[in-house]
A and B are shown apart, each in its own frame.
Chain A
Amino acid sequence: MKVEIALDALPRMLAGIGLTFQLLLLALGIGTALAVLLLLMRISGRWWLSLPAQAYCYVFRGTPILVQIFIIYYGLPQFEWLRESVLWVVLRDPFGCAVLALALNVGAYVTEILRGGVLSVERGLLEAGAALGMSSTHRFVYITAPLAVRIALPAYGNEIISLLKSTALASTITLADMTGIARTVVAETFAPYEVFISLALVYVSLAWLIQRSMHRVEARIGRYATRRAG
């Protein structure tokens, strides 16, 4: 292993960190918003809302993200009507395609994570709310949601890290994120080992950083939400 090659590659790859972060944060924001919508559909108690949401999650969790990216980037543009719609603004751009694919995917996973949180809120708390006269909306907003978020937080943190790693797939559709740049550097230096090792180290440090901040958040808001036994 030639350390100087790794050290040379590092600053070049770090130039792509901004793009990696953009992919991560945009996909996370859009995906989470989508997940909240899908969650509300799933727990609405109306089959014509919950069934589509369920089908959506099933399909997006059951197919590889890479395939989803390819379908969106290579597949969708063949539809004439799509190229003429406003969606084309997003779809003609590889960055837009990558964000869209990652967001749709994250949406499916986060829906399940949030649903797990909602289901684990003790029924007795909701009964207490009902007995106090709180409406079902009030119970959801003030009891279910805050407790579900606390319960879902660790799994959500894992999902962010998983998304961070998935952003590397954007390099397959010409984007110069960290992985994209690494591939260019490898093509120039013929040193895949050194370059990819230092790339891996960058990802691992970022994952560590995310995990640390999630622990912080959990410790802050989950301080007294320890669940009682019985």
Chain B
Amino acid sequence: MSTQTSPIIRLVSVGKRFGDFEALVDVDLEVRPGERIVICGPSGSGKSTLIRCINRMEKHTSGTIVVNGHELTDDLRDIDAVRREIGMVFQSFNLFPHMTVLRNLTIAQRLVRKTPKAEAEAVAMHFLERVRIPEQAAKYPAQLSGGQQQRVAIARALCMKPRIMLFDEPTSALDPEMISEVLEVMVDLAGDGMTMVCVTHEMGFARSVADRVIFMDRGRLVEQADPETFFTRPQNERTALFLRQILRH
């Protein structure tokens, strides 16, 4: 199935230690362009660490990570190149609180891409429309609801025209009634063929959008399968136990 297109992300026996603690153990993962991956697993199992290694927010301690042909080493040019391809959305939004929504969306374009102001603002407005809040452009993050802030954060990442989007529990900090507005935006994005790696426990999203669901436990990829198989016939008993626990809610 993966033979015709080469992977855009490739991890080969990747390990990550924090001191003596092994947060990732021997992780192998390939993601093809346009593929949508959902990662789930108990808290502390290394999900964040895994996706943070992909854009070098964390430095892996063993193995190889190649993103779009650039191997992640200490070479800053490769790190820059990789970060240019990857957008990231955080659980806590991380919007710059002292900047308006519009400036949150234009600052990196202007500094990193050297995009002229008018063009950067046009791009920003385009993506604000895509996340359905163009009318909030002049406000400050603190004036928005959590769901709106997270949609701004998604738009901010999209403004850099990434080929890959990483999501780290984008809806976990949100009140229940705001979760769907964020998920809708993510579903849209999936429909456009964006390569996505999402850490989330939104199983409805995983079922309808994911090409593959991965279960992590104690730093290892324990199981991966298409959503249908994953949810109905999990092979590993820890996966089954985990699914019973989260689906009970």
A residues within 8 Å of B by Cβ? 122, 124-125, 127-135, 138, 142-143, 146-147, 150, 223-228, 230
Contact = CB atoms under 8 A, between A and B. Distances in A.
B140 interface: yes
Interface stretch (B34-42, B86-94, B215-223, B229-237): B86-94
B209 interface: no
Nearest to B153: A128
Contacts of B86: 131
Contacts of A142: 96, 107, 111
A130 B142 contact: no
Interface string B38-76: 000000000000000001010000000000000000000
B159 to A, nearest CB: 9
B87 A131 contact: yes
B156 A225 contact: no
B98 A133 contact: no
Nearest to A137: B111
A121 to B, nearest CB: 10
A127 B142 CA distance: 19
A138 B83 contact: no
Given A142-B107, A142-B111, A124 B142 contact: no
B111 A127 contact: no
B98 A146 contact: yes
SS class, residues of chain B in contact with chain A: mixed
Given A143-B96, A230-B173, A127 B57 contact: yes
A227 B97 contact: yes
B97 A225 contact: yes
Contact of A131 (B88, B95, B96): B88
A143 to B, nearest CB: 6
A133 B80 contact: yes
Interface of B: 55, 57, 80, 83-84, 86-88, 90, 92-98, 107-108, 111-112, 140-143, 153, 156-157, 160, 173
Nearest to A128: B94
B88 A147 contact: no
Contacts of B95: 128
Contacts of B57: 127, 130-131
Contact of B97 (A130, A132, A224): A224
Contact of B96 (A128, A133, A150, A227): A128
A203 B142 CA distance: 39
B94 A127 contact: yes
Contacts of B94: 122, 124-125, 127-128
B142 A228 contact: yes
Given A131-B86, A134-B108, A230 B98 contact: no
Contacts of B83: 130-133
B29 to A, nearest CB: 19
B108 A133 contact: yes
Given A138-B111, A142-B111, A224 B92 contact: no
B94 to A, nearest CB: 4
Given A130-B57, A131-B83, A133-B84, 20 more contacts: A122-B94, A127-B57, A128-B88, A128-B94, A128-B95, A129-B108, A131-B55, A131-B57, A131-B88, A132-B156, A134-B111, A142-B96, A143-B96, A146-B98, A147-B97, A223-B140, A224-B98, A225-B97, A227-B97, A230-B173
